[in-house]
Amino acid sequence: MLDKERIPRHVAIIMDGNGRWATKHGVPRLAGHNAGMKAMKEIVKRSHELGVQHLTVYAFSTENWKRSAEEVSGIFGLLVTYVESELREISENNVRIRIMGDTDALPEKALKAVNKAINNTAGNTGLQFNIALNYGGREEIRRAAAELAEEAKAGRIDPDAITDEDISRRLFTGEDHAGCGDPDVIIRTSGEERLSNFLLWQCAYSEFVFVDDLWPDFTPERYEEALEIYQNRNRRYGGRTPEKKG
């Protein structure tokens, strides 16, 4: 049973399987994304109820632009719809929305919706809901490295003195941005067992939980089961578990 006293501080989720869910049910791919959006709403709600401090979801990767123009347009259309229909409830629940990724390339309506969500929830102090949008882990690390290189070139930082913390601070999860730090657990749905360019730096000591459910079928109850699996792990961070005496 899930221990409500040991809820992870930061949960990250790779929401995978919308397309396969659509194929399974004989409906258009966009219907799968719509079902996935509804599932996301329920997981945000349950995260808030459980006391998760940071929830990060992989909504749209830098590689997703390779999909058909119709599907990409539909995904961003759903994003706009989500903000318009859910923003009031999100605000009432004291949830703060942050975006992780390069928003400059987003369609105008989606960008306006994103900025509205960020601005309207900026003062909230409950669950921080991070949406990874036009996000890629390698690109994130490259941007942080480029920023450090510029600072070193300008003489503001010694290249030989750069630490892991200096890099972490400049990532989207770092103090200079979302401020959520590394995830305690990364959950991926649909049975796939890979990161797909998600939080590559931050996952160094994260626990991974892979579940077979397609994302639209991932219920709050299955979410709690995944968190229970996490709680049963022994996180050693590279050290050893102390031996029992006697």
Sequence ranges of the domains in the chain: 9-136+183-231
Model pLDDT for residues 200-210, shown as the tens digit of each residue: 999 999 999 99
CATH class of 9-136+183-231: alpha beta
Crossing angle of the two packed helices 69-92 and 108-120, in degrees rounded to 10: 20
User: Hunting for tokens 């347009």 — which residue is that?
Assistant: 73
pLDDT score of 13 more than 70: yes
In contact, 231 and 207? CB cutoff 8 Å: no
For the stretch 51-104, pLDDT in tens is: 999 999 999 999 999 999 999 999 999 999 999 999 999 999 999 999 999 999
Question: Catalytic residue at 34?
Answer: no
Query: Is 40 a residue whose pLDDT tops 70?
Result: yes
The answer to whether the Cα torsion of 16, 19, 24, 27 is positive or negative is positive
Residue 30 has pLDDT above 90, yes or no: yes
pLDDT of residue 246: 44
Given 3, 18, 34, 64, the catalytic residue: 64
- The identity of residue 142, as a single letter, is R
Residue that is written with structure tokens 């669950």 in the block: 127
Q: Model confidence over 158-170: pLDDT tens digits?
A: 999 999 999 999 9
The predicted pLDDT at position 234 comes to 86
Q: How confident is the model at residue 241 (pLDDT cuts 50, 70, 90)?
A: low
Catalytic status, residue 16: yes
Average pLDDT over residues 177-181: 93
What pLDDT sits at residue 238?
Answer: 66
